[in-house]
Structure formats: C-alpha cells, structure tokens
A = this chain, B = another copy of it.
Amino acid sequence: MTSIFKDSKDEKEIIKELERIGNELLEQIENQDNPYLEIPERSLGNVYFDKETGLIKLGDKKQRRYYFNIAQAKKFMQTLAVMSKIKWLLEEDKPSLSIRQLYYLLKHTISGFKENTFDTQDETDPIVEDVEVMLDVLRENLRLIATPNGVLAGDMIVEDKTGDILDFTKMGSAGGAIPPIVEDNYFKIKEINADYVLVIEKFAVWNVLNQQKFWKKNNCIILTGKGQPARAERRLIHRLAYEFNLPVYVFTDMDPWGYYIYSVYKQGSINLAFFSEKAGTPKAKFLGFQTKDVKEFDMPPSSFIKMKDIDYKRIKELRNYEWFNNTAWQNELKALEKFGNKIEQDALVSKSIEFTADVYLPTKIENKDFLP
C-alpha cells in the first residue's frame, strides 16, 4: 500500500484527541488565560491547488477562537458543544447520523435562558467542518454522513460493519449500493480482482454496461455516482486507487459539465478543499467522451447537441481553473468551443447499443488514449 495520503484515524485515537484538546482548554482556564481553540482556516484565501500532489488543498493558515471575545464567545461555546456531542457519539457507539440530525441533537434552549444553543443548521455545519480540520479526519470518521447515491459492480468482496459479506459480482441488475461511510472500519475491502476502475457519469450508461457484464468481461469495477458525485463515491474511488493501486478512468459527457465532474473526482473541489485532500484521485485519467473521438469513432450528427451561451460560459470558467491549466486540457476546451456541439455519453447508442462496451471503451483503454 503506497499512498500520498494519511490513513483515517481510528475512533479511539479521535476520542483521545478530543480529550487532549479539552485538557488544553482546562489548563488555559486554570492558568487564567483566555481559553482558545486553534482551527485551520477554511476560507477561500486558504485554499490552493497543489501542483505537486495534483489536489485542491487547505493551506497552513490558522485562526484562534477565543472564549473571552464578544464576537467569538457563542461560536466558542458551539464548537465545544459539537465536539462534546461527537465524543459522546463515538464513546456510546451510537449510529451514524446526518449533519441535519446532529443539528437537531444539539439544538436546545439553554436552561435558565431563552437563548438556543443553535438556531439553524447554518450554525452547526461550519463547526462540523471546523472539527474535521482540527482533528484532521473526515466527518465520516466522526459518524456523520451525507446521503450516498452511487452503485457499483465488479469482483470485490467487502466485510461491512454489520458483519455482512458483500460480493459485488452478485448484486443483480441494481448493482451494490455504496454506503454512506466507506472507511476501512465500516467497509473493509477483503478481496479485489480488477485491472482498473471505470467511473461512469450516468446511471443509464452504467446500467447498460452492467447488463452486458462489462465488469466481468473486462475484469474491472464499474461505478456510477449518478451525475455530480456524493462524498462516499469520491472517497471510495480514492481508496481503490491508492490502497489497491488501481488505475481509475472517468467516462463522462462531452461537455463542460461532464469535464467538471471528472475534475471533482480527480482534484476535488474548492468548497470542500479539506475533503478533497482525502478523497481526490489525482492519478485518475479522463477516458472520454472528447472532441477527437467524434471523428475517430465517426459519431453521427444525430448525436450532436448544439451548445448554448451557458455552455460556452462554462467552458471559459473551466479554462481559468488552475487544474485545467495544462496543454492537453486547454486544447480540448478550445476544440470543444470550436466544435460548438456537446455529445452525451448516452448518445453512443446512436452507433449501436453494443458500441460503448464492444468498441469505444476497449479501444480507448487498450490505446491508453486518455486526457490527463
């Protein structure tokens, strides 16, 4: 296992870390200092694209949140309330919850006052993120989940936290659902036999490949996040790429929206920079569909969708993202702009229903015909 990424901490270590922070605060109080928490900054000013790792990351800036500070006192209290509730969740072995459920758990009237601890979820969500970065763990390590959407099929055996053994060669037409937490202590990958992971933007395209047993014939894992991926899909692909050293190929629509989805799998996203460090897959390659494929695979004009202003505008935005700032992608974005048409991955059935599985994907993969 070679990874440029830290492993996730186990729950006992997290509890210890929370205790350490609590003890530090106690010490500050005993020393009659103004108690404070030191929290890595999550503002845009502290987010950057790290060329070396190919990931969107948080920088080193930190802020201090003080108790004796009128502007910070409430948030200081709220941060401790969140940390204390998370410690309790872990210690009491409670079920994993959504961050909305955590909000409801935390929200109450402070006895003797009319003031609430929290008034809206807008107050708890940023603090959950603060706690993630303070502890350098994902919220999933804190038993906090987001709704997953993806499914996958392929030769992989997993031992689930429930004790169930999941065999992803035997999940039928639906494929196996990706659970909300895919960390090792919840989703232990016991065996995997695959030459690569194929990530497919849309369920409809995944669905046809699954029926054709593409994963079996080509010894791979096929996975779809159903459009813009949720956290669990991104994190699982990261694990497959680095813990199991599998190549990852991403197959999307030929349009700026599909290209952006690829970039989220690969580099991550600005608004979840901290998560991106642990769930990005910089070694992912873009398989297609791309402009040069149009001629090479002789796509019929019936598969073209004329681009609109909003598409051209999005292409311009992509060209300005630092992680698209390389010759291959700048050329591709220019070519797409010039071509003036989008092609959806669904449209490959215009050639034939079998074309994607029998011609397009094997040709691209055999020739290693990818964009970086």
**Chain B residues closer than 8 Å to A151, beta-carbon distance:** 177
Stretch at the interface among A4-12, A59-67, A102-110, A258-266: A102-110
Question: A170: which of B104, B147, B165, B186 is its contact (CB, 8 Å)?
Answer: B165
Question: Whole-angstrom distance from the CB of A184 to the nearest CB of chain B?
Answer: 13
For the complex, give the distance between the alpha carbons of A226 and B230 in Å.
14
**A134 located at the interface, meaning its Cβ lies under 8 Å from any Cβ of chain B in the complex:** no
**A174 located at the interface, meaning its Cβ lies under 8 Å from any Cβ of chain B in the complex:** yes
| Chain B residue at minimal CB-CB distance from A301 | B109
Interface positions of A from 177 to 198, Cβ below 8 Å from B? 177-181, 186-187
Question: Do the beta carbons of A300 and B172 come within 8 Å of each other?
Answer: no
Interface string of A29-69 (1 = CB under 8 A from B): 00000000000000000000000000000000000000000
Question: Do the beta carbons of A178 and B174 come within 8 Å of each other?
Answer: yes
With A178-B174, A302-B104: A95-B353 Cβ-Cβ less than 8 Å: yes
With A300-B108, A302-B107: A208-B101 Cβ-Cβ less than 8 Å: yes
**A371 located at the interface, meaning its Cβ lies under 8 Å from any Cβ of chain B in the complex:** no
With A107-B350, A177-B176, A349-B104: A204-B160 Cβ-Cβ less than 8 Å: no
Question: A302: which of B116, B173, B211 is its contact (CB, 8 Å)?
Answer: B116
Interface string of A288-329 (1 = CB under 8 A from B): 000000000000111100000000000000000000000000
**Chain B residues closer than 8 Å to A158, beta-carbon distance:** 172
**Chain B residues closer than 8 Å to A97, beta-carbon distance:** 204, 208, 349, 353
Question: Whole-angstrom distance from the CB of A56 to the nearest CB of chain B?
Answer: 27
Question: Do the beta carbons of B204 and A101 come within 8 Å of each other?
Answer: yes
Question: Do the beta carbons of B98 and A207 come within 8 Å of each other?
Answer: yes
Question: Do the beta carbons of B349 and A204 come within 8 Å of each other?
Answer: no
**Chain B residues closer than 8 Å to A175, beta-carbon distance:** 177
For the complex, give the distance between the alpha carbons of A116 and B172 in Å.
37
For the complex, give the distance between the alpha carbons of A207 and B187 in Å.
15
Question: A204: which of B100, B174, B212 is its contact (CB, 8 Å)?
Answer: B100
Question: A147: which of B116, B179, B186, B226 is its contact (CB, 8 Å)?
Answer: B226
Question: Do the beta carbons of B173 and A101 come within 8 Å of each other?
Answer: no
Question: Do the beta carbons of B164 and A211 come within 8 Å of each other?
Answer: no
Question: Do the beta carbons of A104 and B346 come within 8 Å of each other?
Answer: yes
Interface centre among A95, A109, A160 (most CB of B within 10 A): A95
Question: Do the beta carbons of A104 and B179 come within 8 Å of each other?
Answer: no
For the complex, give the distance between the alpha carbons of A114 and B303 in Å.
15
Interface centre among A148, A226, A302, A346 (most CB of B within 10 A): A302
**A171 located at the interface, meaning its Cβ lies under 8 Å from any Cβ of chain B in the complex:** yes
With A95-B212, A204-B97: A173-B181 Cβ-Cβ less than 8 Å: yes
**Chain B residues closer than 8 Å to A108, beta-carbon distance:** 300, 302, 350
Question: Do the beta carbons of A208 and B95 come within 8 Å of each other?
Answer: yes
**A96 located at the interface, meaning its Cβ lies under 8 Å from any Cβ of chain B in the complex:** yes
For the complex, give the distance between the alpha carbons of A171 and B177 in Å.
9
**A149 located at the interface, meaning its Cβ lies under 8 Å from any Cβ of chain B in the complex:** yes
Q: Which 6 A-B pairs have the closest CB atoms?
A: A160-B172, A98-B204, A174-B179, A95-B211, A174-B177, A177-B177
Give 17 pairs: A residue, B residue, CB < 8 Å, sorted on A.
A95-B207, A97-B349, A100-B346, A101-B204, A104-B302, A107-B350, A108-B300, A108-B350, A109-B301, A149-B149, A158-B172, A164-B171, A165-B170, A166-B170, A172-B179, A177-B177, A180-B203
